[in-house]
A and B are shown apart, each in its own frame.
Chain A
Amino acid sequence: MISLQLAINHKRFPAATGSPERTLYRDFTLDVAAGTTVALLGPSGLGKTTLLNIVAGLDTDFEGAVRFSPKAPRFGYAFQNPRLLPWRTVLENVLLAAGRGTEARARELLTQAGLGAALEAYPERLSLGQQRRVGLIRALAAEPDVLLLDEPLASLDAQTAARLEAMLARQLEARPATVLLVTHDRTEAGRLARRIVTLDGPPVRIAADDPA
């Protein structure tokens, strides 16, 4: 399992547009022990998604470092905007990320998430909530060492959210990963995470760091 050490000495936002720059992060550190689920709570627009992007290596425009130990991880990322390939079916989208020999598991996960009837559908025919579920399943099916979840249960009805939450918990029990969970929902955070980090700012700082 992979542990994670994040140090953002300085991160500006926005980096390259005409609007005035502001400092998003300054001297921010976060260590996450291997196999831990950490929930990140904080007001929207604070820069939580930016933090996930930095950990994922998608945002490299900052001063600082992200260290993984003992090795570079495989990632899974449930993006807020699901980023599915519109010209591939739901199942194909999951398989592309998960790789060969994963079809049975992918089908099972999608079915568990209530998408059994949509395996061969193209994403544009699904609701946004369904598309986001596909994004979550894609992240899980990739068998990640580090799993990044950006409001994975937002915009779902209570019943579906509960079902997905249970499924997520089951999957992480069966195949532990180091998880960063961005959410607004403190009770959801309490149920899924072992540690709850409350953020405020800007610049972003850790206001509270509690065991769940």
Chain B
Amino acid sequence: MSGLTRLGWTALSLALLVAAWQIAAWLAASRLLPGPAAVVEALHRAAEDGALFRNIGVTLARVAASFALAMALGSALGVLLGRRPALDRVVGPWVVVLLNLPALVIIILCYVWFGLTEVAAITAVAVNKIPNVAVTLREGAGALSRDLDEMAQLYRLGRWTRLRHVVLPQLAPFFAAAARSGLALTWKIVLVVELLGRSNGVGFELQTAFQLFDVAMVLAYALAFTAVVQAIELGVLQPWERRAARWRR
């Protein structure tokens, strides 16, 4: 299927969704299910005074900070556990416990222990994501090729050369998988963190709209933010993945 046809199908599919939404809004005839026009109007309202962009910007900054923190710490932990089975036997079960702890519990504990601060918010999101990253990268580190390691040893490749040319390319697919699922998870948790303990950001705005039963505004923020995240996926993640996999047959 060519790129254009696929784009065409996506457009058609989204148009169908909007049509169905419009019909449902007509049938419901309630302010609790506003139609597309009302949502666009709310979007316009939020954009006009700059609140929309400010809040999306704040939320994205939180997503970026906690995502970077989780990827860095989670990768380091995962690689360490993958390379040191003895350590994995001790720490591995902790990771499983953390993996199964509800996000909400971690958020509440962070706010209780560190106060309703930016640090607590970002820590809470990162801690939610770290075990995920660690488990994925542990798998990658455990699957590192011994053959290539021996080749690097035989030809006396330096530490940095080995890392750059032998180890990191093997971990790249695992890193990409962790990043992809990580971004989706991170931004969802950031909204909850904002809803519970911050005074700005998309999550906070959603809460305000919720209290006013302003469903149009809830949908407006949801749409705008989803579009931004989708743009990051298409503009950053996918090109990077294609580049990292260009050697594959």
Contact = CB atoms under 8 A, between A and B. Distances in A.
B151 A79 contact: yes
Contacts of B13: none
B222 interface: no
A83 B169 contact: no
User: Taking chain B's interface residues, is the majority helix, strand, or loop, or is none over half, making it mixed?
Assistant: helix
A96 B154 contact: no
B124 to A, nearest CB: 37
B159 interface: no
Given A96-B165, A122-B247, A83 B148 contact: yes
B154 A85 contact: no
Contact of B247 (A58, A74, A81, A124): A124
A81 B145 CA distance: 13
B161 A81 contact: no
User: Taking chain A's interface residues, is the majority helix, strand, or loop, or is none over half, making it mixed?
Assistant: loop
B249 interface: yes
Contact of A87 (B150, B155, B169): B169
Interface residues of B, number: 16
Interface string B148-169: 1011011111000100011001
A85 B249 contact: no
A123 to B, nearest CB: 8
Contact of A75 (B147, B154, B169, B249): B154
Contact of A124 (B150, B151, B157, B249): B249
B34 to A, nearest CB: 50
A81 B146 CA distance: 12
Contacts of B161: 96
A34 B153 CA distance: 23
Interface in B124-159: 147-148, 150-151, 153-157
B89 interface: no
Nearest to B157: A96
Nearest to B245: A87
A95 B166 CA distance: 14
Contact of A83 (B147, B165, B247): B147
Contacts of A96: 155, 157, 161, 165
Interface in A20-36: none
A71 interface: no
Contacts of B154: 56-58, 75, 77
Contacts of A97: 151, 155, 157
A167 B150 CA distance: 27
Given A58-B153, A96-B155, A96-B157, A85 B248 contact: no
A124 B155 contact: no
Nearest to B156: A74
Interface in A33-89: 56-58, 74-75, 77, 79, 81, 83, 85-88
Interface string A81-113: 101011110000000110000000000000000
B147 A87 contact: no
B165 A81 contact: no
B155 A142 contact: yes
A8 B45 CA distance: 82
Contacts of A75: 154-155
Most buried by B among A75, A81, A87, A88: A87
B155 A83 contact: no
Interface of B: 147-148, 150-151, 153-157, 161, 165-166, 169, 247-249
18 contacts: A57-B153, A58-B153, A58-B154, A74-B156, A75-B154, A81-B147, A83-B147, A83-B148, A85-B148, A85-B169, A87-B247, A96-B161, A96-B165, A97-B155, A122-B247, A122-B249, A124-B249, A125-B249
Q: Nearest 4 pairs between A and B by C-beta?
A: A97-B155, A122-B247, A87-B169, A83-B151
